[in-house]
A and B are shown apart, each in its own frame.
Chain A
Amino acid sequence: MVVPRVWRERVARYRMVGKKCPACGKVYFPPRDVCPTCHRESYGKMEDVELSGRGKVYSYTVVYQNVLGYELQKPYIMAIVEMEEGPRVTGQIVDCRPEDVEIGMPVRAVFRRLGEEGKDGVIVYGYKFVPDL
C-alpha cells in the first residue's frame, strides 16, 4: 500500500469517526456516503459522528492462521463489536485471554498499531478493543 491509502482513512481509524444519516438518524461505521435506507436523499449530506468507543462483543474467534503482516500476533482474538451507537465493527480484542472473552462482554476501543507492510512499509494504526471493566 502507498501512504495516501493509509493516510486518507486516519480520521475514521484513529478516532472512530463514522457517519450519521440526517434523514433517518442512523449511525454508520465504517463511514459510508449513502444511507442504505434513504439512498439519494442522504448523498452528500451524511454527517460526521465520533463514536464513544464503547460496545459489547457480538461474536468472536481466535485466529491461528493469519493474513500477511499479522504473523507475530497470532493467535489473536478477532471480534465483531456492537457499538453503543448501533453499528457493529470488526477489530481485535487485546489485553485479554481468549478464554475470558464471551458474547455480551463490554469492551472499549483503544488506539493501537495494527500492522505494517513489510520491513520498509507503511505502519498502519487504528483501533483495537480491550475489556471495559
Chain B
Amino acid sequence: MRDVAIIGIGQTKYGEHWKRSLRDLAVEAGLKAVEDANIYAKEIDAIFGGNMAAGTVIGQDHLATIIADFAGLAEHNVPAVKVEAACGSGGAALHMGFMAVASGLYDMVLVGGVEKMTDVPGEHMTDALASAADREWEVTFGATFPSLGAMMARRHMYEYGTTREQLAMFPVVAHENASKNPMAQLRNRITVEKVLNAPVIADPLTLLDCSPITDGAAAVVLAPMEVARKYTDTPVKISASVATTDYISIHSRPSITTVKANVEAGRKAYRMAGVGPGDIDFVELHDAFSIISLIALEDLGFVEKGQGGKFAEEGQIALGGKLPVNPSGGLKAKGHPVGATGVGQVVETVIQLRGEAGERQVDGAKRALTHNVGGTASSVFVHILEVV
C-alpha cells in the first residue's frame, strides 16, 4: 500500500447560498483544490464525491457525473462516482479516494463533498435528514433526527450525571471558534445560558445544540506521498483512513451512551497510524448535536467514559485547552452541509497543519484526527492527518 498525501484543498464559504446551485458550489470547491495543488483539472485520474440528499431534496441524482461535466471534465471522460453514507458521505468519499491512491490504481484523485440544503422548505429537509435513521421503524413512528440525539443525551445524563450546562459547552466553544473562521456560517458568540434558553427542538436539546441547515462544498486533491513534494512544500499525510458501521437504530444497540462503531474506528485508526489518543493535537468531531461529539470524545479515548462533560466544563475542549475540539467551528457553527462535512473537516485540518489558521490556529499542531459520522454514528469515518 502506498502512502497518500493531500496536496490541495478548497472550500466554499458555508452558509445560505440563495444565488448558487449545487453544481456551482461543487465546481468552486473542486477548482479551488485543483488550483491549490497547482495542477490542471485534466491531471485528475478519478473523482469521488460525497452527497447525501440531492436525489431527495433537489431531484438530482447521477451527481458525480453532472459535477465532473460542469467542472469541464466531460472531454476527458474522467471516472466519477458519488459516495453516500448520510451525514458521513464526505468521510466515506475520502476513504474511497484514499483506497484508490493507496492501492496504486489511480495517482491523482479529487475527493469532494457538497450539499444544497436551502432549496427546499425546512420541514422537507428535516424529513430528508431523518432518512439517515430507519424510515420504517423509527421515522414512521415519529422519530426525528434530533429526537434520537436527545434520547442519547437523556440517557447519558441518567447514567453518568452529565449536566445540561456541560453539554452546552460544546456549542459555546464551536461558536467561539467559528467567530475566528471567515468561511463559517454562524460567527456569533453564544453563552451557556443562551443555549439553555433557546427554543427546544427535542428535549433536552435546544436549537443551539443542533447544527444548522447549510449550503456548501469542500474538496481535496490526493496524490501518492512519493510525488507530493513536486506539487507542494506542505503535503499532509493521511496516516489513517478507517470506516466502520453499527446498528443503524440506537434502539438495536446494547448501549446508547457509547457507540461501538466509534470505539472500533478509533482503535483501528490509532493502530494504522501507530499513535495513541495522547499524540493527537486537536480533533474535528462530528457535532451534529452536542451529545454526538461528547460521546465521540469519550469513545475515541480522549477521556474516560462519562467524563466528557466534565472535560468540556473545565475548558479543555477550547483553543488553548488540553484537546481543542473543532477549531473550525465544527458542524455547529462552521456549518453542516451534510455531504460536504467530512471533507470540510479535513480541509480545516490541513489549514491548521500548514499553520495557516490565523486567529484560530492550534499552536504547534502536527497531528490531528477527524471524525465524521452518518446518522447516530451508524457509520463512522475516522482519519488521522499529520505533517511530514
Contacts and interface: CB of A to CB of B under 8 A. Distances in A.
A61 B203 contact: yes
Contacts of A62: 200, 202-203
Interface string B96-139: 00000000000000000000000000011011001000101111
Classify the interface of chain A: helix, strand, loop or mixed: strand
B143 A90 contact: yes
A123 interface: no
19 contacts: A60-B151, A61-B151, A61-B154, A61-B202, A61-B203, A62-B200, A63-B144, A63-B202, A66-B123, A67-B123, A67-B139, A79-B151, A87-B251, A87-B252, A88-B252, A90-B137, A90-B143, A103-B154, A114-B142
Interface in A60-106: 60-68, 70, 73, 76, 78-80, 87-92, 98, 103
B151 A88 contact: no
Contact of B142 (A70, A80, A89): A70
Classify the interface of chain B: helix, strand, loop or mixed: helix
Given A64-B201, A88-B252, A59 B126 contact: no
A67 B232 CA distance: 47
Contacts, number: 99
Chain A contact-residue range equals: 20 to 34
A88 B251 contact: yes
B40 interface: no
Given A65-B126, A103-B158, A92 B151 contact: no
B154 A60 contact: yes
Nearest to B137: A30
Given A61-B203, A78-B151, A128-B141, 4 more contacts: A61-B205, A67-B144, A88-B252, A90-B137
Nearest to A70: B142
Contact of A92 (B127, B142, B146): B142
B249 interface: yes
Given A62-B203, A65-B201, A78-B147, A115 B155 contact: no
Given A59-B154, A92-B142, A30 B136 contact: yes
The 4 A-B residue pairs whose C-beta atoms are closest, nearest first, are: A61-B150, A59-B151, A59-B155, A62-B203
